[in-house]
Copies of this chain bind each other. A is one copy, B any other.
Amino acid sequence: MQKQAGQKAAPDSAPDWLPGLLAGERAALARAITAVENETDEAAAVLQGIRSRLGHALVVGFTGAPGAGKSTLVSAYVAELRRRDLSVGVVAVDPSSPLTGGAILGDRIRMGQHAGDPGVFIRSLASRGHLGGLSRTAARVIDVFDASGRDVVVVETVGTGQSEVEIAEIADVRVVVNAPGLGDDVQAIKAGILEIADILVVNKSDLPFAERSARQLAAMSAQRGHGPVPVLQTSATAGKGVPELADAIAAVGKRKRPDPRARTRRLLQNLVLDRLRRGLAELPPAEVDALADAVLSGRSDIDSALLSLTELLVSRLPQQK
């Protein structure tokens, strides 16, 4: 039964299409995603209704440098999963910005080859809110895909900013995609993101320097605190190396396993940081300036000023009721 717009659902009344969602029906899946994305009246009941059904899907995050051909590689990986008869959900995450309409459209076009396949469900998220809102929505859509019985959920994040790293962190298996030799700076941009990678990919392996880039990445990853990771070469447009990538992801997935608790833990951590970040930005400028002045005049050292600023921030956070 369709509810009228604006009519408030009783908190515990599950929508009549919830069984369809749990049975993997596509139409119910679409409604559930829309509900959690737009936080409609039905969202809470959906999230309640799927709780006991989490932990089937392996969540695979793809992130990496711009121009690396990430979307094309995701599309080729999805095709490989379909050949293995696995069902797939894709969450394409766009930075919380109205500026990137073009990128979303681009994703949809590149994913076009899967348009007629019921085994693939793609949703682009274009949150206009803050980073925390986007992380939360992405996590909820992942859970909905999981409960609907999808075998693999792919999270593709565009770009390599903090927001993308945080969302990719929610995944069980994280793949970082690189293009060969864009210049010296490439090393640097990878340094931050390298820490979260389970698998490193040099895509566009038909370009010059692919071999060298792969060697550099392997050397860099060997220096990490927590040990080296596999470095693979792919050419998404030619389909080269994609089965090997799928094998490598499955191997890491066997070790790390689908883990809704770890996903939730990382989501909570990201949301707390986001709240603190916003809280800091919203502090009264005069009070922060007073602390800066104390440091500049020598009345306070920087460590005391840090403690004072932290206390000011904490005093203004919402309290537990």
Contacts and interface: CB of A to CB of B under 8 A. Distances in A.
Given A98-B223, A261-B289, A66 B188 contact: yes
Interface in A74-109: 94-95, 97-100, 102-103, 106
Contact of A99 (B100, B220, B302): B220
Contact of A313 (B223, B272, B292): B272
B186 A309 contact: no
Contact of A162 (B48, B54, B162, B182): B162
A103 B185 contact: yes
A191 B159 contact: yes
A67 B182 CA distance: 6
A98 B304 CA distance: 30
Interface string A100-122: 10110010000000000000000
Given A192-B162, A269-B288, A187 B307 contact: no
A143 B65 CA distance: 33
B98 A302 contact: no
Nearest to A285: B265
B67 A97 contact: no
A99 B297 CA distance: 38
Nearest to A293: B261
Given A189-B159, A191-B97, A272 B309 contact: yes
Interface string A264-286: 11011101110111001100000
A161 interface: yes
A184 interface: yes
Contacts of A71: 184
Interface string A221-233: 0010000000000
Copies in the complex: 2
User: Of residues A189, A304, A311, which shows the largest number of chain B Cβ atoms within 10 Å of its Cβ?
Assistant: A189
A154 B160 CA distance: 24
A184 B103 contact: yes
Nearest to A65: B66
Contacts of A293: 261
A227 B82 CA distance: 46
28 contacts: A48-B298, A51-B297, A51-B298, A65-B66, A66-B185, A67-B183, A68-B185, A71-B184, A95-B191, A95-B192, A99-B187, A99-B220, A102-B184, A103-B187, A106-B184, A159-B191, A160-B160, A161-B193, A162-B162, A182-B182, A260-B296, A264-B292, A265-B289, A268-B302, A271-B306, A272-B306, A273-B277, A304-B320
